[in-house]
Amino acid sequence: MAQVLLLNLPVAPALVSEGVFDRVSAFAKRIKASVNYTDNMGQDLGIIAPSVTFDPTELQPVLSVKLDATRPHIKWLKGVSDAIDLYVDHNDGNGFVLLGRLMRNEYIDVTNLAADKIIDEWHYKAIYVIGNTQVGQYSAVVDIMVKKQ
């Protein structure tokens, strides 16, 4: 027969009264209003957020491409952008052409292989879009071999 140990737990602490976040915000405002207050103090106390610098000219998407039932499936991280402009070179002599402005973070290219080809190499690149403006740098070009179904 196993022994059962019962623990004597202390009484639970009293519940915090309503408005705790309002009180904390008011307290932080009082601290910030102090004559001796500095930004370093605020950072140490965790009452001001660290400064974040954002330079859209440094943004560059990273594309990955794999076959999904013989179709190129392209994925990327959207990050802070609103969309990407995705370009493709179907190796048809037209060079890179815009496939579209894509809001989601993946795309399956359903373009058919040229009638005279059984296998071909397609190339993709993209650039981020914020608002209606392309920002940053083009991604590295990614390649994939596509076969006729």
The secondary structure of the chain, three-state, reads CCCCCCCCCCCCCCCCCCCHHHHHHHHHHHHHHCCCCCHHHHHHHCCCCCCCCCCHHHCCCCCEEEEECCEEEEECCCCCCCEEEEEEECCCCCCCEEEEEECCCEEECCCCCCCCCCEEEEEEEEEEEECCEEECCCCCCEEEEEECC
Per-residue pLDDT of the chain (149 residues; tens, 9 = 90+): 677 777 888 888 888 888 888 998 898 899 989 899 998 888 888 888 777 788 889 999 999 999 988 899 999 998 889 999 999 999 998 999 999 999 999 999 999 888 888 899 999 999 999 999 999 999 999 999 998 87
Judge contact between 143 and 66, C-beta under 8 A: no
Sketch the domain layout of the chain as residue ranges.
20-52, 56-147
* CATH superfamily membership of 56-147: Immunoglobulins (2.60.40.10)
Query: What pLDDT score was predicted for residue 20?
Result: 87
Structure tokens at 95: 């060079």
Q: CA end-to-end span of the chain, whole Å?
A: 69
Structure tokens at 117: 């080809």
- Site of tokens 């809001």: 103
Structure tokens at 59: 């943004």
What are the CA-CA distances from residue 51 to residues 37, 40, 48, 54 (Å)?
Answer: 18, 12, 9, 10
pTM above threshold 0.85: no
Query: What pLDDT score was predicted for residue 1?
Result: 62
